[in-house]
Structure 1
Amino acid sequence: MRKPIRAFHIVLMRKRWWTAAACLCLAAVMFCMVNYYPAAVGASSSVRQLPIYCVQRDQKLISISFDAAWGNEDTQQLIDILDRYGVKATFFVVGSWVDKYPESVKALSDAGHEVMNHSNTHAHYPQLTADEVIADLNACNDKIEAVTGVRPTLVRMPYGDYDDKSVQAARSIGMEPIQWDVDSLDWKEIPADEITQRVTSKVGPGSIVLFHNAALHTPEALPSILEQLTQEGYTFVPISQLILTGNYSIDHTGRQCPC
């Protein structure tokens, strides 16, 4: 009886050896895949759709932008200040603001400023379906075009809130989502000198600066900002002239770069 028992143990040991060897080989393969081919693991899920926050520019070009969703009491004052310094800006307006103040929309356009899309109802786009985002954008575009004769090509998502779906929806109808890399914080009603210091200390070539129409201290701060940045050699252009066309990429910070 000893020989059959001995043979059984030999077979059992061989099976265990082959199982262990197979496990070691599998572990080695997984190690190689993770360490030498990391792009193969989850590559498609890691690419996020980003708007343009700023632009890689060698020249000292920057853009001034305003979001218009509240009142219009300072709109003409802003137009006058910008005209005094020869600056053309980009105004992102909500469709309901167009309904209330079509004369202000026309005044902005007649003064040579860009009038772009800030949504129709100022909804949180990540809460909408792609079709709802597209319908909302087109509704605002229709209103702006009816007043200015120009259909917007840029959009700033309400609240600066977006997801992959809403960014893709905007781009599917030929619109480019625009954020900002310098926030004036004028919406917090901070003093004019703080707005000035914040903006002038943070801008760089290719920056997009965020202001708000109807913010309390923006008309007070704007002249000193334009004067100081002009003295530093900056040139102001509308966002459509700042962003790149043709082949470009958007890096993980939202900076648009030439390919």
Structure 2
Amino acid sequence: MKHPLLNRLALPSLILSLSLSLSLPAWGAVFSRIPTADPLVALTFDDGPHPGVTERILDLLREKEVKATFFVVGRMAVKSPDLVKRMADEGHTVANHTFYHNNLTTLPPENMELEWKLCNDAIEGITGRRPRFGRPPGGQYNGEVLRATKRSGLTTALWTINTADYTGKTPQQILRRIERNLRCGAVILLHDGPVETVEALPEIIDFIRRKGYRLVSLDEVIPPEAS
């Protein structure tokens, strides 16, 4: 049964439309942008690691001296632990994107928590650090998902700009979605997998910097007490 506040406030729409940091005592912290007036922007990459692509992303980030956030899928992480360890060793935030990448809203609460736990354990086993942030696959969530996320010790991290890079868009189209929507505190959703994302990445970074923004990882800007 949905929480009555969820029905009255239409929480997902409220969060995404306001793009504000929220702390909900019943459900845990949720944010879709960095709560700041400073010129900060976060690049986030979902769905990896993908051997052959992840290395290229990491190489570009290292070359450009950028820290990013990777929402890794647990079953992918255990297949390529060297890539996840490299993310952490190079100063990126490694975050939880569930273990099997299921739509959490279709699962019973105990299975939601299992998805988060298995991925938490995989990341901690590889990096030595338990993740702080979780992103539900497809951005699909409800009150039960948020409660399960909180019980799993995670803060729900959504996004401000969806580049739709997973839909076959060209590098130029990916960049244009960012150009149209960039603002202070933006959390940009990209994916670790599409070659077009790799091809767009240098121009994305250069554009963001030309506009006067500093690129940061979520660990850098969301204090532990807020998650």
Q: Does 1:89 align with 2:51?
A: no
Tell me, in whole angstroms, the C-alpha distance in 2 between the residues paired with 1:122 and 1:159: 9
Aligned partners of 1:55 and 1:244 also within 8 Å:
no
Tell me, in whole angstroms, the C-alpha distance in 2 between the residues paired with 1:186 and 1:247: 30
1:63-142 matched pairs, under 5 angstroms: 63-69=42-48, 71-142=50-121
Q: Which stretch of structure 1 is more off in the superposition, 173-182 or 145-154?
A: 173-182
1:174 Cα deviation from its structure 2 partner: 2.3
SS in structure 2 of the partner of residue 180 of structure 1: coil
Q: Does 1:159 align with 2:159?
A: no
1:157 Cα deviation from its structure 2 partner: 0.2
Q: Does 1:147 align with 2:126?
A: yes
* Counterparts in 2 of 1:191 and 1:43: CA distance versus 1, 3 Å: closer
Tell me, in whole angstroms, the C-alpha distance in 2 between the residues paired with 1:159 and 1:247: 24
Partner of 2:179: 200
Q: Does 1:172 align with 2:134?
A: no
* Unmatched 5+ stretches in structure 2: 16-29
| Per-residue CA distance 1:4-63 (angstroms, 9 max, x = gap) | xxxxxxxxxxxxxxxxxxxxxxxxxxxxxxxxxxxxxx7685243753111332111110
Counterpart of 1:54 (choices 21, 30, 33) is 33
The RMSD of aligned alpha carbons is 2.1
Q: What's the TM-score, normalizing by structure 1?
A: 0.74
Tell me, in whole angstroms, the C-alpha distance in 2 between the residues paired with 1:111 and 1:184: 25
SS in structure 2 of the partner of residue 62 of structure 1: strand
Aligned pair count reads 207
* Counterparts in 2 of 1:196 and 1:93: CA distance versus 1, 3 Å: same
| Per-residue CA distance 1:117-160 (angstroms, 9 max, x = gap) | 00011111111222221122111110111111111110010121
* Counterparts in 2 of 1:74 and 1:164: CA distance versus 1, 3 Å: same
Code of the residue aligned with 2:80 in structure 1: it is: Y
Code of the residue aligned with 2:187 in structure 1: it is: I
Q: What's the TM-score, normalizing by structure 2?
A: 0.84
| Per-residue CA distance 1:182-207 (angstroms, 9 max, x = gap) | 01111112111111121122111011
Tell me, in whole angstroms, the C-alpha distance in 1 between the residues paired with 2:223 and 2:187: 13
SS in structure 1 of the partner of residue 148 of structure 2: helix
Partner of 1:215: 194
SS in structure 2 of the partner of residue 217 of structure 1: helix
1:85 Cα deviation from its structure 2 partner: 1.6
* Unmatched 5+ stretches in structure 1: 1-41, 249-259
Aligned partners of 1:206 and 1:242 also within 8 Å:
no
1:6-17 matched pairs, under 5 angstroms: none
